[in-house]
Chain A
Amino acid sequence: MHLTRRDFLELAVITGAYLTADPVGALAKMTSEDILSFKSKGKVTLLFTTDMHAHLKPLYFMEPMNLVAPKKLKGLPGYLTGPDFLKYYRINPNTLEAYFGSCVNFPELAEKFGKMGGGEYIATVIKSVIAERGRENVLVLDGGDTWVTTAIGLFTEGKAIVDWMNLVGYDIMVAHWEFTLGKETFLKRIKELKAEFISQNIVEEDFGDLVFKPYTIREVGGAKLGIVGNSFPYTPIANPRQFTEGWSFGIREEQLQEFVNELREEHKVDAVILLSHDGLPLDMALAKKVKGIDIIISGHTHDVTPKPVFVNNTMIVIAGSHGKYVGRLDLDIKKGRIRDYSFKLIPVASNILKPDKEVQKFIKEVYKPYEKKLSEKIGVAETLIYKRDTFYSTFDRLAGEAIKDYYHGVDIVFSPGYRWGTTIIPGQEITVDHVYDFTAITYPDVHVFKMKGKHLKLILEDIADNVFNPNPFYQQGGDMSRVIGMEYEIEINGPQYNRIRNITVGGKPFNPEKEYVIAAYGGNLHRSEFSEEIKDAKPVPVYEILIDYIKKKRNIKVDTKPNVKVLDESYRTSC
């Protein structure tokens, strides 16, 4: 089917499937008060966001259909998706909560409830809670992945979001993708940032000295809180090393334990909080090893925890991604003990909440120089275009097709397993901004190189172990790299470095000795010792290739069938 925009509109009238022109009417039952309603407790309030990925503007973002887990971790928070997520948290389908937290009926609910997140709506939530509780009783935290990976983040080198955070009133943060601005810019930005940047797990490579303050102590609502920071432990491996040259990261759990003890014994804090970009599965494992942390506010894996997870005596929460939620945790603390708490992930529903006028004006100003370029309509989505999944997404297929179209003779395209991006619903116009939402990185070039089949397999096995190792301490983060042009089967619980079977390339049997032509972006692959660069294939930023391809095709229809077959776990292909 080849739908034009007009066809679609006609179809939409018939099926009623289009963005309602009157969101107020459609959402008459839901009010801003409902969204913000909260049973407050004690005097201390923690507000937190994470992994906003520089989305100052509201967006659609569908939670993944799959988060395939190794057996040991199956069914745990961090690996719950779709109907399983709704069942676990007892959320009724087709509600606002279901729309924000699962992929079930996403395109339909997107039309009903509208876009999520957005800087002026997050500001509304934070400011209204501060107004209710009093500034001295509220601490505003951010878990990182906040400044970059959209056009506005990239073009302003994170400055737009730093200014936004200052305007909203953030107190403390940790980081990950922020480091890909490069050391110099990163250090400049944290000086501009009014919030305090903390991290106990970044040290100088030579003598192991701390680069940043490891923790901070704040009096909030009459309680003394010790907040320790963990930035993403695998930043130098997951992202190009040159950005953090001379710094060493890691989990550093022994050192973390020492800081927790120091806060308790020397500073006599009432509660210890870990603000982390470790990822939920790793933080759940970490809570078993490190004693004395009361609360972990997690980030990185974009999980949504409508209820806290408890591991021994540690409460763990994580507030999703892309600005979809503001976490609110009220604490009743007396004499070094948390006596009671109240928790909610507040959905930032942009059609229901009122925008904060000051912040709205600021965002408009910030976008002004880029608005014309970014709002250009370059095509129409005929398929749901999404990014997040364990193995496959329609965005990655589209990127693969565009790259193959640009560089002739490419056998396989590697697209990185990032968790961030956006979602474009069928019938929606694709803008330049959308393309950047999926690809705005500081190292965007597509590299073309040759590699022998056996080495390719070796690298896939390596990546698979980084995703499916049953011990979260050995997972490096990210979903599986996408390989377009190649098909394979995988045994998730198979032996380390021996999970992948029955590879075919373009439908033909895989040959370990053959040299395949590979195009890749967003990773380290072209620099591996097995890669032989093809000199006459000039590296080009992936967003430029995509923009041109979408303009050329106009109507974007993508195969929704994954190229990966999971042998020993269930794998959804629709939601």
Chain B
Amino acid sequence: MMNRRDLIKLMGAGMVMATTSPLVTISHASEVEKKFKKHVGVPMSKVKDGSSLIKLKTPTIAETGANVPVAIDSKVPVEEVEWLMIFVDNNPVPRVIKVHLTPMNGKVYFATRIKMAKTSNVRAIIKKKDGTYLQAFKEVKVTIGGCG
């Protein structure tokens, strides 16, 4: 039987189509809250909706959970920003990356590819220098697929 590790290896070699485990067990809200507070530093309720200021570009359905493109583009002036974080609720380690920005970056923009274990909200969180937080999020589905 193919184990999870073999599968990921195969995926790396580009041999297998999208199949990380499709999500069924959604992490409990309280669990996400706990992890969120641990990694972000404040409870989610303290983070304001930044959907009008942060553009989070990522597919609604991932082609493979092993490689999900994420791009964050924000109108918030880079001078006001301390860091930017990508947080994936249902990943074993939800904090994917924390990027510290300086005015030398020119603007708040960051693009990468992430690995997702299962369907989850993907969050782009910004900590501003004034101590406030903003976030935008989008659900990204990881599916086995297979019907035409």
A residues adjacent to B (C-beta < 8 A): 176-177, 234, 236-242, 245-246, 248-251, 254, 416-420, 457-459, 461-463, 465-467, 471, 473-474, 476-481, 496-497, 522-525, 527-530, 532
Contact B144 A524 (CB under 8 A): yes
In the complex, chain A residues whose CB is within 8 Å of the CB of B1? 532
Interface size on B, residues (CB 8 A): 33
Contact B17 A473 (CB under 8 A): no
In the complex, chain B residues whose CB is within 8 Å of the CB of A419? 148
Bound-state CA distance A465–B144 (Å) is 11
Bound-state CA distance A240–B61 (Å) is 16
In the complex, chain B residues whose CB is within 8 Å of the CB of A236? 17-18, 63-64
Ordered by A's residue number, 7 sampled pairs between the chains whose C-beta atoms are within 8 Å are: A237-B17, A417-B147, A462-B144, A466-B143, A474-B61, A476-B141, A522-B146
Task: Pick from B2, B23, B61: contact of A234, CB below 8 A.
Answer: B61
Contact A416 B147 (CB under 8 A): yes
User: Is B26 part of the binding interface, using a Cβ–Cβ cutoff of 8 Å?
Assistant: yes
Q: A237-B61, A240-B17, A497-B23 are in contact. Are A418 and B147 (CB under 8 A)?
A: yes
Q: A236-B18, A241-B18 are in contact. Are A497 and B63 (CB under 8 A)?
A: no
Q: A473-B60, A476-B143, A524-B146 are in contact. Are A529 and B18 (CB under 8 A)?
A: no
Mark contacts of B92-103 with chain A using CB atoms, 8 A cut-off: 1 yes-contact digit, 0 otherwise.
Answer: 000000000000
Task: Pick from B17, B20, B64: contact of A242, CB below 8 A.
Answer: B17
User: Is B52 part of the binding interface, using a Cβ–Cβ cutoff of 8 Å?
Assistant: no
In the complex, chain A residues whose CB is within 8 Å of the CB of B148? 176-177, 238-239, 416-420, 477-478, 522
Task: Pick from B7, B23, B24, B146: contact of A238, CB below 8 A.
Answer: B146
Q: A497-B26, A532-B1 are in contact. Are A481 and B57 (CB under 8 A)?
A: no
Bound-state CA distance A496–B139 (Å) is 12
Bound-state CA distance A502–B27 (Å) is 24
Bound-state CA distance A86–B119 (Å) is 39
In the complex, chain B residues whose CB is within 8 Å of the CB of A420? 148
Bound-state CA distance A205–B125 (Å) is 26
User: Is B50 part of the binding interface, using a Cβ–Cβ cutoff of 8 Å?
Assistant: no
User: Is B91 part of the binding interface, using a Cβ–Cβ cutoff of 8 Å?
Assistant: no
Bound-state CA distance A245–B16 (Å) is 10
Closest to A481 in B: B147
Bound-state CA distance A418–B147 (Å) is 6
Q: A242-B17, A527-B16, A528-B19 are in contact. Are A250 and B144 (CB under 8 A)?
A: no
Bound-state CA distance A250–B23 (Å) is 20
Measured between C-beta atoms, what is the minimum distance from A417 to chain B in Å? 4
Task: Pick from B3, B21, B63: contact of A237, CB below 8 A.
Answer: B63
Classify the secondary structure of B's interface with A.
loop
Measured between C-beta atoms, what is the minimum distance from B139 to chain A in Å? 7
Measured between C-beta atoms, what is the minimum distance from B120 to chain A in Å? 12
In the complex, chain B residues whose CB is within 8 Å of the CB of A242? 15, 17
Mark contacts of B9-44 with chain A using CB atoms, 8 A cut-off: 1 yes-contact digit, 0 otherwise.
Answer: 000001111111111101000000000000000000
Contact B23 A237 (CB under 8 A): no
Bound-state CA distance A477–B148 (Å) is 6
Mark contacts of B110-126 with chain A using CB atoms, 8 A cut-off: 1 yes-contact digit, 0 otherwise.
Answer: 00000000010000000
Task: Pick from A249, A465, A478, A524: contact of B141, CB below 8 A.
Answer: A465
Q: A250-B63, A461-B24, A474-B61 are in contact. Are A416 and B146 (CB under 8 A)?
A: yes
Bound-state CA distance A98–B92 (Å) is 54
Contact A479 B147 (CB under 8 A): yes
Bound-state CA distance A525–B15 (Å) is 15
Q: A463-B147, A465-B141, A523-B146 are in contact. Are A497 and B18 (CB under 8 A)?
A: no
In the complex, chain B residues whose CB is within 8 Å of the CB of A417? 147-148
Closest to A525 in B: B146
Bound-state CA distance A418–B146 (Å) is 10
List 7 tightest A-B contacts by C-beta distance, closest first: A478-B147, A241-B17, A237-B145, A523-B146, A462-B22, A524-B146, A417-B147
Contact B19 A250 (CB under 8 A): no
Contact B141 A474 (CB under 8 A): yes
Could you list 15 further interchain pairs (A-B, Cβ under 8 angstroms) beyond the known A234-B145, A465-B143, A529-B21? A236-B64, A237-B143, A237-B146, A248-B63, A250-B63, A418-B147, A458-B22, A466-B145, A467-B147, A476-B143, A476-B145, A477-B148, A479-B147, A524-B144, A529-B4
Task: Pick from A240, A251, A461: contact of B60, CB below 8 A.
Answer: A251
Closest to A232 in B: B148
Task: Pick from A248, A473, A524: contact of B145, CB below 8 A.
Answer: A524
User: Is B59 part of the binding interface, using a Cβ–Cβ cutoff of 8 Å?
Assistant: yes
Q: Which of B43-84 contact A (CB under 8 A)?
A: 57, 59-61, 63-64, 69
Closest to B22 in A: A462
In the complex, chain A residues whose CB is within 8 Å of the CB of B139? 474
Measured between C-beta atoms, what is the minimum distance from A194 to chain B in Å? 27
Closest to B7 in A: A529
Determine which residue in B19, B143, B146 has the highest number of CB atoms from chain A within 10 A of its CB, and name it: B146
Bound-state CA distance A443–B96 (Å) is 37
Measured between C-beta atoms, what is the minimum distance from B67 to chain A in Å? 8
Contact B2 A529 (CB under 8 A): yes
Task: Pick from A177, A459, A467: contact of B22, CB below 8 A.
Answer: A459
Bound-state CA distance A457–B148 (Å) is 20
Bound-state CA distance A497–B26 (Å) is 9
Task: Pick from B23, B141, B144: contact of A525, CB below 8 A.
Answer: B144
Contact B63 A249 (CB under 8 A): yes
Bound-state CA distance A37–B139 (Å) is 48
Task: Pick from B15, B19, B23: contact of A524, CB below 8 A.
Answer: B19
In the complex, chain B residues whose CB is within 8 Å of the CB of A254? 57
Measured between C-beta atoms, what is the minimum distance from A36 to chain B in Å? 33
In the complex, chain A residues whose CB is within 8 Å of the CB of B20? 529
Contact A245 B143 (CB under 8 A): no
Measured between C-beta atoms, what is the minimum distance from A290 to chain B in Å? 15
In the complex, chain A residues whose CB is within 8 Å of the CB of B26? 496-497
In the complex, chain A residues whose CB is within 8 Å of the CB of B63? 236-237, 241, 248-250
Closest to B8 in A: A529
Contact B3 A529 (CB under 8 A): yes
Bound-state CA distance A525–B17 (Å) is 10
Bound-state CA distance A249–B61 (Å) is 11
